[in-house]
Amino acid sequence: MKGHDPIRGSVLHVGDTAGVPRVLSLAQRGLGMKSDVIAFQHHKFGYEADFLRPTKTPFPFRCLERILSLSKLVDEYDILHFHYSSALPMGLDIPLWKRMGKKIVIHHKGDDIRGKGEGYLFSHLSDGIIVSTPDLLEWSEDAIWVPNPIDLDSCPPIGIPEHSGPLRIVHAPSDRRIKGTEHVIRAVDEIQKEGYYVELIMVENTPHEEARKLYMGADIMVDQLLVGWYGNFAIEAMALGKPVCAFIREDLASYLDGAPVINTGPIDLAAKLKSLVEDASWRRSLGRAGRSYVERRHRSDLVAKYIIKYIYNL
C-alpha cells in the first residue's frame, strides 16, 4: 500500500482457477484495495485462499453450502469477482447478489465457455466479463480480454542454467488431452532417436512450488499445442527466462504484441525442438525476450490496475 492512495472499493474473488485469483488479489492489495479470495476446495496444486470452505456434500446440496458460505462474507465487499463460474450452475445465484447491491464480474478461463457461448444471466446481469485468453472472445460478445497476471517476484529471470547431461525439455499438462501431450511425447521421442541428447521432464499432479523448481532447471519448455494460445505455464516459462513453444492460431497472431513464443503445432514440433537444441544462443535470446515481454504484458500490478480502472470502474 505504500506509495498508493487506498482504493475505495473492495472485492471478493470467488474460485481458485490456476492460481490467478490469488495473484490478482495480492496485487490489488498492493495497490491499496481490500481484496480476498474464497475457494470451495483444496486445490491440487496448492494455491492459497483467504477463506477455504470445502464443500463435501453431493450435488445439488454443495451448491447450497457455497451460497451460505458466500452469504456470510458478501456484506464486507462491494464486488464479487467470479473465476470460471459463479456459485450455482448457469449463474442462477447472480440475481441474488445483484439484489444485495453487489457489482458482478465474470472471469472466464477456458472450457467454462469455449464451445458453449455466454450464459444468459452472465451477459444480462454482470457488470463486466473478462476472458483470460483471446481465443475465448468469440464465445462472449461482451467480454474483454485481460492477460493473466503473474507475480514476477516469485519467478526470478534465471535464464537457462549451465549443466551437464541432456537438455531438459519440460512439459506440465494439467490435462493431457487438451494440452496435446501425446504430440510432445512423440516429438521428443523422434528427435532422441535421431541422436539429439535431450530428455523430457513431465510435471504432473505436483504442488506449484515444487513444479516451479523443476521449471527452473529447464532448457526448453513446451506449453499447449491444440488450444491456439499460450497458457499460464508459458507465462511462467517466459518470466523465468526460458524459451517456450506453443501453438498460436493464425487469427490470434495480432494479439501477440511481440511475444517471443515459438509458434508450433503437433506436426512441426520436432523440427522446432531440433532448431532450439542446436542453437544455444537462440535459446538464451528467446529467454531474455520472454522475460521482457512478461514484464510489459503480464506483470500482476499492471493487470490489477487495468481491471480496477476499466472493469471495476473505480
Residue 237: count of CB within 10 angstroms of its CB: 30
The 10s digit of each residue's pLDDT in 3-17 is: 556 677 899 999 988
The predicted pLDDT at position 46 comes to: 63
| C-beta of residue 146 within 8 angstroms of C-beta of residue 302 | no
The predicted pLDDT at position 49 comes to: 87
The 10s digit of each residue's pLDDT in 86-123 is: 999 999 999 999 999 999 999 999 999 999 999 999 99
The predicted pLDDT at position 2 comes to: 46
The predicted pLDDT at position 55 comes to: 81
Question: What domains can be seen in the chain, in order of their start residue?
Answer: 10-149+299-311 (3.40.50.2000), 154-297 (3.40.50.2000)
Q: How many CA atoms lie within 13 A of 91 on its CB side?
A: 25
Taking each helix axis from N to C end, the angle separating 232-239 and 280-297, rounded to the nearest 10 degrees, works out to 110
Q: Which residues of the chain have pLDDT under 70?
A: 1-6, 43-46, 314
The predicted pLDDT at position 59 comes to: 81
Cell numbers placing 77:
465487499
Cell numbers placing 287:
529467454
Alpha helix (H) residue ranges in 13-81 = 20-30, 61-71
CA–CA distance, 18 with 47 (Å, rounded to integer): 8
Q: Indicate the SS3 state at residue 236.
A: helix
Cell numbers placing 138:
468469440
| Cα four-point dihedral sign 291, 292, 297, 302 | positive
| C-beta of residue 142 within 8 angstroms of C-beta of residue 226 | no
Residues 6+ apart with CB under 8 A from 32: 1, 4, 5, 6, 7
The predicted pLDDT at position 127 comes to: 96
What DSSP state is assigned to residue 254? G
